[in-house]
Amino acid sequence: MVKLDFKKNNGLIPAIAQDYKTGEVLMLAYMNEQAFEKTLKSGNATYYSRSRKALWEKGETSGHVQQVKEIRVDCDYDTILLKVDQKGDAACHKGYRSCFFSKVEKNNLKIVETKIFDPKEVYQ
């Protein structure tokens, strides 16, 4: 069994989702033990929503599921790296491929990516 350190941060571990082909970092979300087990079983990334306090299969509303190709664990067993196949080409609920579409430039944030979908059409 893979033993992760869920105790350090109130039962939650940050999980980074990275595109398995390009290496692009798509998003970061959190997993509790149940979410991790569900991800292992289903093969689709399942997180724990801190705002909704519930399991959340990524893409359950948008259809933009993340098929897990590989799972890495860090040296302290308290962070997960998922290499995923991002369906629908976009991970961010704001319509961008990656949630990290803003760059720090001269002490301000500048959007440096292009929207792939219109959130109003996907989340109705």
Chain residues in the site for its own copies (CB under 8 A): 1-2, 8-9, 14, 16, 18, 22-25, 27-28, 40, 50, 70-76, 79, 81, 92-94, 96, 99-104, 107-109
CB contact burial 57-86 (16+ within 10 A = b; e otherwise): bbbeebebbbebeebebeeeebbbbbbbeb
Q: How far is the CB of 2 from its own copies (least distance, A)?
A: 6
Quick one: 9 or 34, whose CB is closer to its own copies?
Answer: 9
In whole angstroms, give the CA distance from residue 49 to residue 8: 18
Q: How far is the CB of 38 from its own copies (least distance, A)?
A: 14
Whether 59 and 27 have beta carbons less than 8 Å apart is answered as no
Q: How far is the CB of 124 from its own copies (least distance, A)?
A: 20
